[in-house]
Structure 1
Amino acid sequence: MTAVPESSDEPSSPEMVGGTSSSTSTSTNGSPRLDQIPTVDLLGEIRRRQAILSRPERRVVLTGPQGAGVGIATQAARLARAWGICDINHQQLVEEEEAAAAAREQQHGGDTTTTGGGVPAIVEAMKAPQCRRGFVLHHIQPDNSALSMMKVEKELDHFGMSPIDTAVIIEPKEYSSTNDSDVETSLMKRISGRLYHKPSGRVYNVSSPGCEPKVSGEDDLTNEPLSVGKEPSLNMISTALNEWFGPIRKSVVEYFSRSGKLVVPSIDAMQSPNEVAEEVLEHVTKGPAMKQQQTQSENDNQ
């Protein structure tokens, strides 16, 4: 089986917003140049994208606790490829803003101003051509709460942009208490051993079958070296899960339920990454209850 990077676009996938590469043999998003891709692969990609055009537009929020065990960024990249929409990682946008501010301070001194916690950057990202059919937005800062999501939606409305229409939650359903140590240990094993290709944002996992790099320590697309990320601890996972299953989850469910955008039920993160990806695609295809009712009403009127 071909290894699939944990949070990677494959060579023919839509561009992921954020991240550049300095390699002259690759494009600015870390993918190979067109003249390096075999013609048969390019033709296959054209056919794939033509098929995608039959799908309706979708503007999706994919959310859940940090350390969910499957990598929400992984699932966002897979959904973006399958649906032909762009992948927007809010956390990465914020980090890029902070890095740019730090660089300005070092160069000019004293100027560490950012553009607003990544929210204006989201709006700019959504203006990109690859986002015209929709997007999957994830890792909404600072805490994935309903308040954070409300700020994003207000910004979209302010600029007259299409709103979020679908919300999908991925979470370890077995986790039910602050003392659920078996689930915490299982999650720690699943998210340990991650390797990162920072220019593109691709993430691999040597502990997860099918998510390893093809060549040990090298990015699949550019052959550039991968860096080792900070390994999780049980305390980090426990804290993240307790925060999510406390007020944050409740606020998110209530917020998107009121607007009819939440697709239920949530998806169990304890499944294999492929099983989770299949359910994410099913949820987005089905859409929230609001869309199902609208479709049924249209069918009844025909």
Structure 2
Amino acid sequence: MASSGVTLEDVPSVDLMTEVLRRFKCSSKPDKRLVLIGPPGSGKGTQSPIIKDEYCLCHLATGDMLRAAVAAKTPLGIKAKEAMDKGELVSDDLVVGIIDEAVKKPSCQKGFILDGFPRTVVQAEKLDNMLKKQGTKIDKVLNFAIDDSILEERITGRWIHPSSGRSYHTKFAPPKVPGVDDVTGEPLIQRKDDTAEVLKSRLEAFHKQTEPVIGYYAKKGIIAQLHAEKAPKDVTAEVQTALS
């Protein structure tokens, strides 16, 4: 059965049946290793938690993994910190190494969602080589296709719950209470780079670097095109069709 890395002895009695049922449900789910590709504001952050819960996957965001590796002072984390302290980019090999460590954890037993990586064809090739050594591969790549003109309104109205990564929008997906996370009641924040100016430069980088990655995976026949301009529930339906 899929495990979250927590033994049943550690689960409070009141939550025990829920956890047993969750593990039973997860045991029947097929393994899936997914990559999400799309520009900022395309809805990856909205769909990731839904996919994670539905298919019992772990969610791997490269920024979060790097910060966790640095905080844990793992050998790779120490090397990453040295690069960041010098103002250098963390090398592709280091990032792939950190992903390699992450996907072996119990929480990733049923597979994973990779969000924010690969951003280049070289990174995609390195990722494939790493997974090949494990005897696995990427099963599906979800391409969140959307016109640039729609993204500015989405980005500038976006609010984030920092610790969980849950994403809200003042117009399209507002929290039940303005400025407050639905689950924890904790305050939401706006990212400093969620501005029209930053979006423009990020889109330029996306089109130049990451769009070729879509072609790379298309040649492998594992791309699923999503109409990311649709309402979240409609995109969720497309995701379910793509993964069925």
> TM-score category by the smaller chain?
0.7 to 0.9
- Aligned-pair CA distance for 1:148: 1.9
- Aligned-pair CA distance for 1:270: 0.6
Aligned match of 1:272? 231
Which has the higher mean CA deviation after the structures are superposed, 215-224 or 74-83?
A: 215-224
- Aligned-pair CA distance for 1:77: 1.7
> 2:56 aligned with 1:56, yes or no?
no
Measured at CA, do residues 258 and 136 of structure 1 come closer, stay the same or move farther in structure 2, by a change above 3 Å?
same
Find the aligned partners of 1:247 and 1:126 in 2 and give their Cα distance. Answer: 25
Match of 1:191 among 148, 151, 155: 155
Gaps of 5+ in 2: 79-84
Measured at CA, do residues 161 and 223 of structure 1 come closer, stay the same or move farther in structure 2, by a change above 3 Å?
farther
Question: Scaled by the length of structure 2, what TM-score is found?
Answer: 0.75
Name the SS for the 1:118 alignment partner: helix
Aligned match of 1:236? 198
The alignment of Structure 1 onto Structure 2 pairs a total of residues equal to 228
How much is the aligned-residue C-alpha RMSD, in angstroms?
Answer: 3.6
Amino acid paired to 2:157: G
Q: Could you list the per-position Cα deviations for residues 234-279 of structure 1 after superposition, in whole angstroms to 9, with x for gaps in the alignment?
A: 3433443344345631x2233213333223xx11111011111111
Name the SS for the 1:228 alignment partner: coil
Measured at CA, do residues 34 and 74 of structure 1 come closer, stay the same or move farther in structure 2, by a change above 3 Å?
farther
| Larger Cα-atom Rg | 1
Find the aligned partners of 1:38 and 1:229 in 2 and give their Cα distance. Answer: 36
8 Å contact from structure 1 (residues 192, 231) kept in 2: no
8 Å contact from structure 1 (residues 59, 135) kept in 2: yes
> 2:123 aligned with 1:151, yes or no?
no
Find the aligned partners of 1:241 and 1:208 in 2 and give their Cα distance. Answer: 21
Amino acid paired to 1:198: P
Amino acid paired to 1:132: Q
Question: Scaled by the length of structure 1, what TM-score is found?
Answer: 0.62
Find the aligned partners of 2:214 and 2:126 in 1 and give their Cα distance. Answer: 16
Name the SS for the 1:151 alignment partner: helix
Measured at CA, do residues 217 and 100 of structure 1 come closer, stay the same or move farther in structure 2, by a change above 3 Å?
farther
Aligned match of 1:222? 184
8 Å contact from structure 1 (residues 87, 136) kept in 2: yes
- Aligned-pair CA distance for 1:76: 1.8
Q: Percent identity?
A: 27
Aligned match of 1:162? 136
> 2:63 aligned with 1:88, yes or no?
no
> 2:219 aligned with 1:258, yes or no?
yes
- Aligned-pair CA distance for 1:43: 4.3
Measured at CA, do residues 207 and 161 of structure 1 come closer, stay the same or move farther in structure 2, by a change above 3 Å?
farther
- Aligned-pair CA distance for 1:126: 0.7
Which structure shows the bigger proportion of residues in helix conformation? 2
Gaps of 5+ in 1: 1-13, 16-26, 28-32, 105-110, 176-182, 286-302
Find the aligned partners of 1:256 and 1:271 in 2 and give their Cα distance. Answer: 23
